[in-house]
Amino acid sequence: MALVYPNTYHHAMSNLGFLTVHHLLNSREDSLCERFFLPDPEDLEEHRKTGYPLFSLESGRFLEDFDVVAFSIPFENDYLNLPEIFELGRLPLFASQRDDRYPLLLCGGVCAFLNPEPLAEIMDAFAVGEAEQILPALLGTLGGFEGTREELLQALTEQPGLYVPSLYQVSYHPEGTVAAMTPEPGVPGRVRRQWVADLDAAPSRSFIQTEATEFGDMALTEVSRGCSRGCRFCAAGYLYLPPRERSLANLTGQVEAGLCSREKVGLVGAAVSDYHEIAALNEAIRERGGKISVSSLRIDSLSAEEVAALAGSGHRTVALAPEAGSQRMRDLINKGIDEAQILRAVALLAAGGIINLKLYFLIGLPGESDEDLDELLELTARIREAWLAEGKKRGRLGTITLSVNPFIPKPFTPLQWSGMDTEKSLEKKMRRIRSAIARMPNTEVIFESLRAAVLQAFLSRGDRRIAEALPLLAAGKNLKAACRELGLDPAFYVTRERGEDELFPWEVIDQGFARDYLYQEYLRGLEGKFTPRCSAGCRRCGVCG
């Protein structure tokens, strides 16, 4: 199997999903896995100049030499690297152009079970769910199979968690929405997401250590999967239900393995601070001479002990995610925190010796008004006052950085019925925030590229008709020009609000929770009602039974 990450080595080798699949495949006696990446710019230029094909890191084999080419894709914007990779790998981009001479193409990663349809005309099959649960049966099918490509694809549909898009016929209403996704006889109508019940049986850490990556100075360790919070904008909080944790004993073993090569442990998970034994885990790391790093902290569960552990590990900057500046918007997204809790967390960090603070905010949420932006700026000013007051005591003033990103309505979240805010509106909001923050000393703001955000919305909410746009976008055309050439309307995918009963392209996937549950959460959000965090199915999503 060729395992392809459609971005550079630097990005790929910080991805635990990619590293875990590579480890799982090479731990078996019946499979061999080698890695492929998008070449760095200077190497890419050499490939183009010489025409030399893309080759594996391990042995220099070409893609066409493998039985299966498996893509691990966690980010939609990496779709734009696929045309280049296919060209360098000498593979036709579209599945209809490939016959028995070519390897089977399998797509896994978050994008494969968030919305596989934008790549449905490209990939032969999708792994819907977590690799640990899907790979054993898949390898069993592949290892002993004798037959045609068509017969193999039919056989794959008999395995839970495999979606073969060519065996589904999609029809559309006159206005362009999906009318039906009709499977061929014997093929399931929907493909159920597969997940691992016991994380202790599925190790996930930095099995390969390299300094040539974003987190090269630390050993990454997965603490948990899923999140109990139920934030209505967050795909990860729904795609990985039910929430699961590793035992402290399991994590201690993974930490010890990581500390053999690195002195810092990076704790990974959607809700690391919610881990029920986080204090004991931090202590176990420190007892073994290790340092601790986390991606972000939970505002309402932050403790002085956790701050001390981070400060003692050399953290100079820590991130918090209020997500919205006004209480009205925080209630809409079910964030479940108030301003007092935010300011308390800020005070804990400042008093604990953290020098710099990063704050994550979303703009463009449904119904957002000028008053909501006013409250965001007022909250920032109050955070700054508290931060600087503590900094003056230390005799050192740090920096507060706002990371402000446009809200993108993602599949399988309650806000999937919403449209994205328009570019014109978002540009106006960005200008207003930038102007206000510029008048606050020791405070700065960074914005995600609006073009990249709109493109992400298009790719994450699209159907299989948008696949033809990928080569055009990869060649440098902007979204509007590419869509115009293909007769597509980008607003149809990006800013249009969905109807209650509209069939979404991604609903060929069965996540295990009810559509009605999501819609009721959507209505509760618009009404500003809070839904308690999940515990043994208390949100009645159905996953836990």
Q: Between 394 and 31, where is the model more confident?
A: 31
Residue-level pLDDT at 273: 86
Is residue 374 over pLDDT 70? yes
Residue 352 CA to residue 185 CA, distance in Å, equals 63
How many angstroms separate the Cα of 487 from the Cα of each of 97, 443, 479, 542?
23, 44, 12, 40
The answer for residues whose C-beta is within 8 angstroms of residue 502's C-beta and 6 or more apart is 177, 178
Give the three-state DSSP class for 67. Answer: coil
β strands within 324-376, DSSP E: 356-363
Residue 527 CA to residue 417 CA, distance in Å, equals 15
Is residue 542 over pLDDT 80? no
Is residue 536 over pLDDT 70? no
Band of the pLDDT at 24, cuts 50, 70, 90? very high
Read off the pLDDT of residues 308-334 as tens digits, 9 standing for 90 and up.
Answer: 999 999 999 999 999 999 999 999 999
Read off the pLDDT of residues 73-85 as tens digits, 9 standing for 90 and up.
Answer: 999 999 999 999 9
Give me the DSSP letters along 369-391.
-HHHHHHHHHHHHHHHHHHHHHH
- In angstroms, the first-to-last Cα distance of the chain is 36
Question: Within 13 Å of residue 55, how many CA atoms lie on the same side as its CB?
Answer: 10
Is residue 540 over pLDDT 80? no
Question: Within 13 Å of residue 366, how many CA atoms lie on the same side as its CB?
Answer: 23
Is residue 387 over pLDDT 80? yes
- Work out the percent of the chain whose per-residue pLDDT is above 90: 91
pTM value? Answer: 0.96
Band of the pLDDT at 71, cuts 50, 70, 90? very high
Catalogue all structural domains in the chain, each as residue range(s) with its CATH number. 2-192 (no CATH), 220-448+513-526 (3.20.20.70)
Residue-level pLDDT at 512: 94
Residue-level pLDDT at 295: 74
Q: Between 295 and 130, where is the model more confident?
A: 130
Picking from 387, 404, 405, the residue whose alpha carbon sits closest to that of residue 441 is 387
Residue-level pLDDT at 22: 97
Read off the pLDDT of residues 102-118 as tens digits, 9 standing for 90 and up.
Answer: 999 999 999 999 999 99
- CB burial of 133-157 (b: ≥16 within 10 Å; e: otherwise) equals bbbebbbeebeeeeeeeeebbbebb
Picking from 243, 21, 246, 269, the residue whose alpha carbon sits closest to that of residue 131 is 21
Band of the pLDDT at 534, cuts 50, 70, 90? low
Is residue 397 over pLDDT 90? no
Question: Within 13 Å of residue 465, how many CA atoms lie on the same side as its CB?
Answer: 17
The answer to whether 63 and 37 have CB atoms below 8 angstroms apart is no
Residue 72 CA to residue 411 CA, distance in Å, equals 19
Give the three-state DSSP class for 159. Answer: coil
β strands within 152-243, DSSP E: 162-163, 168-172, 178-183, 191-192, 218-222, 224-225
